[in-house]
Amino acid sequence: MIAHRGASFLAPENTIASAKLAWELGADAVESDIYLSKDNKIMVNHDANTNRTSGKNFIIKETNSDTLRELDVGSFKSEKYKGEKIPFLQEIINTVPNGKELVIEIKCGSEVLPYLKKVINSYKRNKKFVFISFDFQTISDTKKTFPKYSCYWLCSNHDLLKKNISRVSGAGLEGISLNYTIIDEKVASQIKELNLELFSWTIDNPDEGKR
């Protein structure tokens, strides 16, 4: 069970609070989204801008981290979380208990990889990481950068899946993570025949999970 943006139903998404709550609730992993700021800091945020969670519209790649860190991204969820900041990736990593995994979704492109490598290498002995991305080139580059860690291509479009599925093994990826609405027996069987792993998001209905 992977906590999507942390325990984001209960706490503000992609914050230290949501990550810590996910671990308290027994999640096997936490998923966090990353972008690179203007001053090359890895920031944890789902959107390319900050408007939805902070009410102030800054584009992350065009903004320095010190400005981004001044924003309150907790109050939109509850007054209880007022003052929660956009985390640096390192801060989320530091919450991960032994034996648990952090799933890092790369929302920007391959330009983040040199900085991500520096961060990850400082933790590699005692932390578990998984990498995911919707952009096929980005996740392919990520696998080359982190050959020892599992990498998965994200897809929510059936036609795009059909176009790229044969490329996944060639890129050395461990598998595919699909929007559950495009998973049927044919898709699942094809992925199994290719000896790839299949993940999905965000299945909140138990009956749909069983399907």
Give tens-digit pLDDT for 16-32.
999 999 999 999 999 99
pLDDT averaged over every residue in the chain:
96
Instruction: Give me the pLDDT at residue 124, please.
Output: 65
- Mean pLDDT to the nearest integer, 32-58: 98
- Mean pLDDT to the nearest integer, 129-157: 97
One-letter identity of residue 98: N
Q: How confident is the model at residue 123 (pLDDT cuts 50, 70, 90)?
A: confident
pLDDT(125) > 80: no
Question: What is the DSSP secondary structure assignment for residue 205, as one 8-state letter?
Answer: -
Give tens-digit pLDDT for 152-210.
999 999 999 999 999 999 999 999 999 999 999 999 999 999 999 999 998 989 999 99
Strand, helix or coil for residue 135: coil
119 backbone φψ class: left, alpha, beta (φ>0; ψ -120 to 50): alpha
pLDDT(149) > 90: yes
Give tens-digit pLDDT for 56-80.
999 999 999 999 999 999 999 999 9
Q: How confident is the model at residue 127 (pLDDT cuts 50, 70, 90)?
A: confident
In our burial notation (b when 16+ CB lie closer than 10 A, e otherwise), range 108-138 reads bebebbebbeebbeeeeeeebbbbbbbbbeb
Residue carrying structure tokens 């966090």: 32
Residue carrying structure tokens 């320095």: 64
Give tens-digit pLDDT for 99-113.
999 999 999 999 999
Residue carrying structure tokens 């005692």: 126
